[in-house]
A = this chain, B = another copy of it.
Amino acid sequence: MCQHRRMSNTKALPLLEPATSEEATPCCPPLTERPFTADEAESAARMFKALGDPVRLRLFSSVASHEGGEACVCDISDVGVSQPTVSHHLKKLKDAGLLTSERRGTWVYYRVEPSVLATMGRLLTIPPSSA
């Protein structure tokens, strides 16, 4: 939870809830399977671009590695930029479909969209006989 002065009394972390997993857009085949179409590239590039900024990558990693699969903004904001900048980057990660957010009382919790790691991992899978 959030290590701060005034503690919330709303249930801080209903961990591991159903998660409403929408089962993802498969989006694209592995990058190595065949040349991407323009549409596929547009779609996949949006995800890579979202992780293509150091601050966003740290925020994403903080959420992804946080106990319970979610993190309060106040727990991950120590990345060397101002609070509006953190907010701006979290919004971009949300818009790219990598994170979801939920407000609970005073705090806002972010979590990794369940399908994302699998979808992006699939893009980078290595073909069976890679030389």
Chain B nearest Cβ from A99, distance in angstroms: 12
Instruction: For the complex, give the distance between the alpha carbons of A62 and B34 in Å.
Output: 7
Interface size grouping (class) on chain A: 35 or more
- Flag A23-59 by CB within 8 Å of B: 1 or 0 each: 0000000011111101001101110111111111110
| One of A3-11, A101-109, A114-122 contacting the partner | A114-122
Name the B residues within 8 Å of A79 (CB-CB). 38
Contact, CB under 8 Å: A65 / B32: yes
Tell me, rounded to whole Å, the shortest Cβ–Cβ distance linking A10 to chain B: 22
Q: Are B58 and A35 in contact (CB under 8 A)?
A: yes
Chain B min CB distance to A32 (Å): 4
A57 and B41 contact, Cβ closer than 8 Å, known pairs A19-B131, A49-B52? yes
